Structure 1
Amino acid sequence: MNDAIVFSTSPVTLIGAGTVPEQAIEAALALAPDVVCADGGANVALQLGLDPVAVIGDFDSLSEAARVAIPEDRLHPIAEQDSTDFDKCLRHIDAPLVLGAGFDGSRVDHQMAAFNAMVRRPERRCILLGPELISFVAPPELRLDLAVGTLVSLFPMAAVTGRSAGLRWPIEGLHFAPDGRVGTSNEISGPLHLWFDSPAMLMMLPLTELEPAAAALSQAPAWPVHAG
């Protein structure tokens, strides 16, 4: 990752300009205390009393007060308009895991753009935190040990197939697609073991499961850099 602006050997919290639920930011910071902001996310971070190590984006929503408050060497403007600020951050953060808050739910278009960026850059491990759920690109293989009855939703961003053990409704033999079959509201029935054939499946779990999900994702095999 030679183009990294932020390099960390530990997970980092990435804050966007959307709504940042208190429980989500508390959960993220407990695992990843170093904060990076996507453009106007710096305004949010400062309001929360946080001190970002870097701000990355096109700076069209960064307030003048934030520009003054944050040291200039932590401001990293990227002028191009062909990608979102979230995507700019993903491709310039070199960390084992990014926990994103402020990208999920307050605007559907921003949320879908974030999901799109995650699927296009599956080698950048990232979990988005919302008020109730977390979302991430399922790795090639994943093991999780969660309580029986825990919600698991699977939403395909492209055609994808997989196999499962530990789901109430197994997925083997199913062909998922965003305009076809989806996997909303499945449940844990035992130790969970999942396999997928491409980096196109978004997996959603309750926010309360962030810590075990982050640990499992960090230990799972990684997708290669996606040609798309």
Structure 2
Amino acid sequence: MTLVGAGAVADGDLAAALALAPTCVAADSGAETVLAAGVPLEAVIGDMDSISEAARAQIPPERQHRIAEQDSTDFDKALRHILAPLVIAVGFSGRRIDHQLAALHTLVMRPDLPCVMLGAEDIIFLCPRDLHLPMSPGTRVSLFPMGAVTGRSEGLEWPISGLDFAPDGRSGTSNRATGDLTLQIDAPAMLCILPRRFMAEVAEILQAIPVPARWPARAAPHRAPPGS
């Protein structure tokens, strides 16, 4: 499923995501980007505080799912009401830094739902327990901890085995691959940032992970969308 937010969506981003995940859902005013592109919209989810009335008028009422609470972002509201093998998130980076940080926080808070966030130059996703990815030497691999986490690696110029990572401690920015990459991570707290050309490969890997091998739900489980 492609999930579209209100952040920057560059030319080609939406088409690239839909090629992998053809069902399209919007988070609040992300619907305006989808409508402007002429893409069929399965649903819009959020508190509806930023979508215009003109846009709402183009969306059937049964496809509008308003969640009024203000304790979470529209990205989080959408993810917790989506049941899909994979989400490609577009439009959740590139404009406001606070919104982008909140999106990264949501990736960690919803570890049971594989999600790849598409940026201008990168993809960002929560590392699964085990990841093996064919890679050319010299490829940039950044690992950023969103909590205390350790792991082991093969195929990195600076191996992570035996290192402790934390937001207020060590991070793994701008490491480099020496060949095919293997990561084993011990907690659902490590974000992996790769060049966006890896989007299709990473999406295939994440959605192929059997449910029992995925990280368990950390926050509220998936629920059916509320009534409009």
Please confirm whether the aligned pair reaches a TM-score higher than 0.5, indicating the same fold. yes
Q: Residue in 2 aligned with 1:5?
A: none
Q: Letter of the 2:47 partner, please give it.
A: D
CA distance in 1, matches of 2:7, 2:145: 24
Q: Residue in 2 aligned with 1:84?
A: 73
* Uncovered stretches (5+) of structure 2, i.e. residues with no partner: 221-228
Give the counterpart of 1:155 among 138, 144, 169.
144
CA distance in 2, matches of 1:95, 1:197: 24
CA distance in 2, matches of 1:150, 1:98: 24
Q: Residue in 2 aligned with 1:101?
A: 90
Q: Residue in 2 aligned with 1:175?
A: 164
Identity of aligned residues (%): 56
Per the TM alignment, residue 26 of structure 1 is displaced from its structure 2 partner at its CA by: 2.4
Q: Letter of the 1:89 partner, please give it.
A: A
Give the counterpart of 2:201 among 167, 188, 212.
212
Per the TM alignment, residue 227 of structure 1 is displaced from its structure 2 partner at its CA by: 6.0
Deviations 1:119-149 (A, max 9, x none): 0110011111011000010011111112222
Q: Letter of the 2:65 partner, please give it.
A: H
Deviations 1:191-222 (A, max 9, x none): 21111110000000111110111112223331
2:2 aligned with 1:13: yes
Give the counterpart of 2:45 among 52, 56, 66.
56
Distance 1:44 1:93, change over 3 A: same
Q: Residue in 2 aligned with 1:187?
A: 176
Q: Residue in 2 aligned with 1:118?
A: 107
Deviations 1:38-71 (A, max 9, x none): 0000011111221210000000011111111111
CA distance in 2, matches of 1:89, 1:73: 16
2:211 aligned with 1:222: no
CA distance in 1, matches of 2:12, 2:184: 30
1:17·1:44 contact (CA, 8 Å) conserved in 2? yes
CA distance in 2, matches of 1:188, 1:18: 30
Q: Residue in 1 aligned with 2:33?
A: 44
CA distance in 2, matches of 1:214, 1:187: 21
Q: Letter of the 1:210 partner, please give it.
A: M
Q: Letter of the 1:214 partner, please give it.
A: A
1:27·1:210 contact (CA, 8 Å) conserved in 2? no
Q: What is the RMSD computed on CA atoms of the aligned residues?
A: 1.2
1:24·1:207 contact (CA, 8 Å) conserved in 2? no
CA distance in 2, matches of 1:224, 1:62: 33
* Uncovered stretches (5+) of structure 1, i.e. residues with no partner: 1-11
Q: Residue in 2 aligned with 1:8?
A: none
Q: What TM-score comes out, normalization by structure 1 length? A: 0.92
Per the TM alignment, residue 183 of structure 1 is displaced from its structure 2 partner at its CA by: 0.4
Per the TM alignment, residue 23 of structure 1 is displaced from its structure 2 partner at its CA by: 3.2
SS in 2 for 1:83: coil
Q: Letter of the 2:150 partner, please give it.
A: T
Q: What TM-score comes out, normalization by structure 2 length? A: 0.92
CA distance in 2, matches of 1:165, 1:149: 14
Deviations 1:72-94 (A, max 9, x none): 11111111111100000110000
SS in 1 for 2:128: coil
Q: Letter of the 2:33 partner, please give it.
A: V
Give the number of equivalent residue pairs.
Answer: 217
